């Protein structure tokens, strides 16, 4: 099948900014997102739908917590660790937050080096991001193990409202799954970058389409979204 090529008939007139620009873009009877490729636009729209999924999870958690007459377990105590004889509240979650934010930082830099066509730096930074993501999932597995051995179940826990367990396992489980898939996605794209697929415009195995460094940015959008969701989970579930 022939690939659609975006033709560029000379200099296009400057596009309006502000509200006028929004009206122009949406009513142009052409593609709406003028300087955004379909791949990037679809990733944004997927992330929007994913936002609604996580919104529903956090909303059901809010509803459960607000409507229960039993005291809610104190997350500050539940997630505390004793390190070297010191009892530190919420320390594991804080470390997980810093690990995930660091992975977002390395991902943003990978996108930047991708657009500079610096193959090696892009691939290395993506692999560092994947390693930090895997570390995060590992710490989450440790956290789950700790809570399960302490008797937390989706239907009961030793400290208070029964819905604590179901909310915890569903929200962090879904988020951890997103991180896991992100790590797999990262490794797959990093391999392509490392091999130079986007420099020689090698055609994809499944799609037979030419790859571009833009996929690194699209991948980055997904990864930053995972970090973004964690910001909300950290605030609402662990700190509130």
Partner 1 sequence: MTNVAVHLEAQQPSLHAHVHDVPASGATHAEGQQHPIKLYLVVWGWLFVLSACSYLVDYFHFQGYLRWSLILLFMVLKAGLIVAVFMHMAWERLALSYAILLPPVLVLVFVAIMVFESDYTHLIRVVFFAPST
Task: Closer to partner 1 by CB, 149 or 219: give it.
Answer: 219
Nearer to partner 1, 108 or 187 (CB): 108
Contact assessment for residue 101 and residue 92, using Cβ atoms and an 8 Å cutoff: no
Find where tokens 């090698």 sit: 202
CB contact set of 73 (below 8 Å; sequence gap of 6+): 157, 159, 160, 161, 164
Q: Quick one: tokens of 49?
A: 């739908």
On whether the CB atoms of residues 234 and 59 are closer than 8 A, the answer is: no
Nearer to partner 1, 45 or 148 (CB): 45
**Residue 34 vs 195, nearer CB to partner 1:** 34
Nearest distance from residue 144's CB to partner 1, in Å? 21
- As measured in angstroms, the least distance from the Cβ of 153 to partner 1 is 20
Residue 156 to residue 230: CA distance in whole angstroms: 25
Question: How far apart are the C-alpha atoms of 198 and 191, rounded to whole Å?
Answer: 11
Angle at 78 between CA 77 and CA 79, to 5 degrees: 95
Q: Of 73 and 148, which CB lies nearer to partner 1 in the complex structure? A: 73
Give min distance, CB of 12 to partner 1, in A: 12
How far is the C-alpha of 221 from the C-alpha of 164, rounded, in Å?
A: 31
- In the bound complex, what is the minimum distance in angstroms from residue 150's beta carbon to partner 1? 20
> Could you tell me where the beta strands, DSSP code E, fall in the chain?
81-83, 86-88
Match 């609402």 to its residue by tokens: 236
Taking the complex as a whole, the smallest distance from the CB of residue 212 to partner 1 amounts, in Å, to 4
Closer to partner 1 by Cβ: residue 90 or 152: 90
Question: For residues 38 and 215, is the Cβ–Cβ distance under 8 A?
Answer: no
* C-beta closer to partner 1: residue 87 or 153: 87
Distance in angstroms (rounded) separating the CA atoms of residues 191 and 116: 18
Whole-number minimum distance, CB 162 to partner 1, in Å? 12
Smallest separation (angstroms) from partner 1 to the CB of 13: 15
């Amino acid at each position: 099948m022939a690939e659609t090529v975006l033709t560029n008939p000379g200099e296009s007139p400057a596009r309006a900014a502000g509200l006028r620009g929004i009206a122009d873009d949406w009513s142009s009877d052409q593609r709406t997102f003028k300087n955004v490729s379909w791949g990037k636009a679809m990733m944004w729209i997927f992330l929007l739908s994913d936002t609604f999924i996580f919104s529903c999870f956090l909303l059901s958690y809010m509803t459960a917590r607000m409507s229960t007459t039993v005291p809610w377990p104190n997350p500050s105590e539940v997630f505390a660790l004793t390190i070297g004889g010191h009892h530190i509240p919420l320390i594991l979650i804080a470390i997980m937050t810093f690990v995930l934010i660091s992975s977002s930082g390395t991902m943003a830099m990978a996108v930047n080096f991708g657009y500079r066509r610096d193959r090696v730096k892009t691939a290395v930074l993506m692999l560092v991001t994947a390693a930090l993501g895997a570390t995060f999932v590992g710490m989450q597995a440790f956290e789950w193990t700790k809570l399960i051995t302490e008797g937390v179940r989706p239907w009961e826990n030793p400290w208070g409202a029964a819905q604590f367990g179901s909310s915890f396992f569903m929200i962090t489980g879904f988020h951890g799954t997103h991180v896991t898939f992100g790590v797999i996605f990262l490794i797959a794209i990093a391999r392509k970058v490392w091999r130079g697929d986007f420099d020689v415009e090698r055609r994809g195995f499944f799609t037979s389409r030419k790859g571009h460094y833009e996929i690194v940015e699209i991948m980055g959008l997904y990864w930053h979204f995972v970090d973004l969701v964690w910001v909300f989970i950290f605030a609402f579930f662990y700190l509130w």
